[in-house]
Amino acid sequence: MWKRALDRAGVKEPRLRADYTEQRRAVRRFATAEYAAARLLLPAALLPHVVAAVAFMHDTDDRIDRGTPDQRAVALAEWDRLVRKAFADGDSELPVLRCLVRTAERHPDVRAYVAEFLRGCEHEIAWRVLADDAELERYVRDYSLPALMLTACLLAPAEASERAAFTDACHRLIRAMQRFDFLEDLAEDVRAGRPGVPADAVARHGADLTRPGAALDRLVEEQAGRAAADLTAAAPLTDAVEPAYRPFVRALVGVQWLRLTAVRRAGAALAVRGSGPSAPAAAVLLLRETAARARRTPRGGS
């Protein structure tokens, strides 16, 4: 399957095939469920390019996620230099960038989102507290959305007239996902001194983020409700993509609803532990979409 995917993605050179295979191993290791969904539900020709984009995003996060803010800023500046050089030269000493350059050659939108994502990383490094929903929105717009679009742009409709609706749905989806991230990781983020739940909401409910209680329950439910509204508004995303991509998008959105259920069930317990989607429910969702895709895919198709 993987060799066929490389063939259909136009990756013929032995070194590049090895590079993409290395990125595939990395993505399978740190994003096992996401890789499985892409492997089962996306056309083979797209899989290596999704792998390249996800591997680049993860490598970037890993490079800028350690040390003081000043050290992280230095790491980002050096990484930005290496990425720019790779695009200018059409090559790099780093396999992850060699794959990124080839993917951007085949899918030119990727390069623009790489630049937006790297600019957004400056925001990710700098923030300590999100004062309110307006600041959360800026964070999503500047950092989270470009990060999503690194891969989402590979699924975007070709017609410019349809892209605005697609991007808007992506924006609503990632805003919901970001709220989930901040709720799921609340205990860890509080220990790190960077809770992502808007500070005005915390104050409004009088919540103590370090221990379970009724006020924190109300805060979690409020934030989950706002995420649910965005998930509902993101529903047009499925119809905005080509039919071949719809099983993957349905599965992606479906998992977010499972995350919402888990966050609401955890409630104030998020002060002391994380949460995540039900593994059995996610497996059923993936199997259902895989079966549906198989019924629609001609024999021998991708």
pLDDT digits (tens, 9 = 90+) for 222-269: 999 999 999 999 999 999 999 999 999 999 999 999 999 999 999 999
Which residue would you say has higher pLDDT here, 294 or 238? 238
Going from the N-terminus, what domains does the chain have, and what CATH number goes with each? 1-126 (no CATH), 160-302 (1.10.600.10)
pLDDT digits (tens, 9 = 90+) for 83-128: 999 999 999 999 999 999 999 999 999 999 999 999 999 999 988 8
Q: Are the CB atoms for 163 and 157 separated by under 8 Å?
A: yes
Which residue is associated with the tokens 């977010």? 256
pLDDT at 67: 86
Q: What is the mean pLDDT of residues 203-227?
A: 98
pLDDT at 300: 52
pLDDT digits (tens, 9 = 90+) for 21-54: 999 999 999 988 889 999 999 999 999 999 999 9
pLDDT at 144: 97
Residue 247, sorted as left (phi over 0), alpha (psi -120 to 50) or beta, turns out to be alpha
Q: What is the mean pLDDT of residues 206-211?
A: 97
pLDDT at 295: 80
Average pLDDT of the residues of the chain: 94
Residues 6 or more apart whose CB falls under 8 angstroms from that of 39 comprise 1, 47
CA distances from 40 to 45, 89, 248, 290 (A): 12, 34, 8, 6
Q: Are the CB atoms for 201 and 223 separated by under 8 Å?
A: yes
To the question of pTM greater than 0.85 for the whole model, the response is yes
pLDDT at 299: 55
Q: Are the CB atoms for 38 and 78 separated by under 8 Å?
A: no
pLDDT digits (tens, 9 = 90+) for 158-207: 888 899 999 999 999 999 999 999 999 999 999 999 999 999 999 999 99
